[in-house]
Structure 1
């Protein structure tokens, strides 16, 4: 069982002014932005690499699976690293690790090496995992527990800002400068054209690497709030009397995160290939990347709206409504054609918006001194995105459009969690900082 370290989640002492938390959240919003930006670059990278390496859908989605396997592999080591060197230094290490992975894309492109691409993406994702392990529970414990979902949705909206801008950035610098991105879907590239296309990833990843190093320098120099006693882990003797598995909201919340990630990542990674089809929108990959930006923009709008709604309505009720909406639009995507299918798939971004931050905060509700351990399990569940390869296999076997029935099935589990699984049992006094 993963346990977050004593130095995470961070919080200020009880008598510290609220403004310090506001400043810290504003700074950490840049981290949410950056890892959202880098993660979604993959959505435009996948159709590009599919053409460069002549991959089927299964091997294309394997690229994303490697990315999310990093969450499972790196979660526990990340927690141990934070415990050893401290929260702030660990953030710097995570950012520099991401910069190293981005720089590795340069030799991967020059050598046109599929294994090296997978390695580089794994390194980047491991750095993001280090940031995720601490940042999400940090936001959740600042302030009253009942508004934790609203706070996390608000900060995650800046993550969505990054995901909205990333397709435009990568669409212009990768797809817009490559033969595969500007040609039709039926064009077969020559060996020389595939090699030339591979080089188009160098500039954007160099820019990303430089930005990450600069952000690491900033994070290394600022002073984040000190850790208060309110969020310290309970003693080992006290913990022996408690069990994570007695909390229904966590037990069902871990698979909820896992299953939701299958839905989100499957939609995002297959979006460009789907809408480019002659029976849907019949557009180039470069043009499709602009519509992908609208999908992520809908997620940003949904998180801002969700933050407002959850201050008036119970978070689980809002989650239930959004999951029903996601289920409906995924059925339309599966059975409709033309622009209707495209816009229904775009709409799912809005309905997916609140799911991760809301499930996360509902999952740790009532865990009291077990909050850190529960948070670790929920972060590890992000590895569910690795199972996007299952949707790749379904696309190869039954057709790309039919594969979205898997997404619809995932929405049903989220609805189940909202209506029943999220109800806390054996709730302990929540730990938070006022």
Structure 2
């Protein structure tokens, strides 16, 4: 064995533990993201909210991503990926801990603030972890690697749903007739118990995030050699350069609409199932959300396999067109068929986020960190479009409101067919 092969072997061993830890982050933020889908139904019941008001759970959450993605990029530019990850985990832990005083005060706005803090931490995690994966190898296989890493994200998503389903949902759902027969003190006790149900799960999550931050601080990370331009551009200069790159700019807009589609469908899956299936409870309706995430998980691994034979942009377009059909079924058939159509759509959403992300970062060189933060900012689509869908639902119906994600999939298909093409790039 020659010296080069020994060095290569040592390098791989040095990378193993950091890579395992990075993959764990995909699990953690998946769990946090999909607990929101449970919170929407829980808070709608506990605080007696409209669809628009309950949708503000996602608005508060994804606004945290929007406002903290660029600060995360600045930290990465000045320091390194590891520093950004530790800050993200500490903010994540703090936000989850804030659920305790929010529950004690029984204040919906306090919960929204806690979700904002959680998301600010996750913005740091995603801004660091996604580009970290894409630069660990050939640019030609970046989409493959990111899809492989993201395949572990749905496991966290499923865990989040199960935690919410079994540790937050009480199974007690009083209709208006029952509530009218209860005393005011009994009604108050009922709503308070529903609010307090979120305390323990989030305190556990806070502790886990804190322990992970300590673990990351103790583990030595390898230095990542990135392409340098020979000069240190300011953030404003980087943003100016990036905004001239057409395929990147279109990726940002497309990611905005993808996140809107995903968050809309998942956030209102329980609501849609209850609308479409007579007599189903929150607990039973949550099973369809779990099925959706299982479909996403299978789709991630299947998509990683298909990308060996089909170009990422083509697979993206094919999957988006299929989802246009499935969501149309959801609009036109608000029954069990419509519910299953929306469940299956998650299989075809599986590759979209990482594929759009990697196509957008293609040939951006030393601007990758800043570009990554902007793509993470595009997650704000989940904040804006979920509120839009909630508003449309309030004035029409939850099935008709599915037109919002349908339009999003049309735009994603167009990006996969035309918008991904690299016509110019950052000059190194």
State the SS of the aligned residue for 2:151.
helix
Per-residue CA deviation, residues 2-29 of structure 1 (Å, 9 max, x unaligned), is: xxxxxxxxxxx99973454444322201
Unaligned runs of 5+ in 1: 1-12
Q: 1:409 to 1:185 in 2, by over 3 A?
A: farther
Alignment partner of 1:43 out of 37, 40, 44 = 37
Q: Does 1:320 align with 2:314?
A: no
Name the counterpart of 1:263.
Answer: 261
Q: 1:82 to 1:244 in 2, by over 3 A?
A: closer
| TM-score, length of structure 1 as denominator length | 0.89
Name the counterpart of 1:31.
Answer: 25
Query: Which stretch shifts more, 409-418 or 344-353?
Result: 344-353
Name the counterpart of 2:127.
Answer: 133
Answer yes or no: is the 8 Å Cα contact 2:241–2:426 preserved in 1: no
Count of paired positions: 413
Answer yes or no: is the 8 Å Cα contact 2:313–2:417 preserved in 1: yes
Alignment partner of 1:100 out of 60, 80, 94 = 94
Q: Does 1:201 align with 2:194?
A: no
Taking the TM superposition and a 5 Å limit, the aligned residue runs for 1:219-238 are 219-228=216-225, 230-232=226-228, 234-236=230-232
- Partners of 1:236 and 1:376 lie apart in 2 by 18
- Partners of 1:357 and 1:337 lie apart in 2 by 30
Taking the TM superposition and a 5 Å limit, the aligned residue runs for 1:164-183 are 164-175=158-169, 177=170, 179-180=172-173
Per-residue CA deviation, residues 135-181 of structure 1 (Å, 9 max, x unaligned), is: 11111111111111111111111111100121111100001x2534x
Query: Which stretch shifts more, 78-87 or 287-296?
Result: 78-87
Alignment partner of 1:288 out of 239, 260, 285 = 285
State the SS of the aligned residue for 1:243.
helix
Unaligned runs of 5+ in 2: 1-6, 181-186
Q: Does 1:218 align with 2:212?
A: no
Query: Which stretch shifts more, 21-30 or 139-148?
Result: 21-30
Alignment partner of 2:154 out of 151, 156, 160 = 160
RMSD value, Cα: 2.4
Answer yes or no: is the 8 Å Cα contact 1:178–1:197 preserved in 2: no
| TM-score, length of structure 2 as denominator length | 0.91
- Partners of 1:402 and 1:201 lie apart in 2 by 31
Q: 1:133 to 1:188 in 2, by over 3 A?
A: farther
Name the counterpart of 2:4.
Answer: none
Name the counterpart of 1:423.
Answer: 421
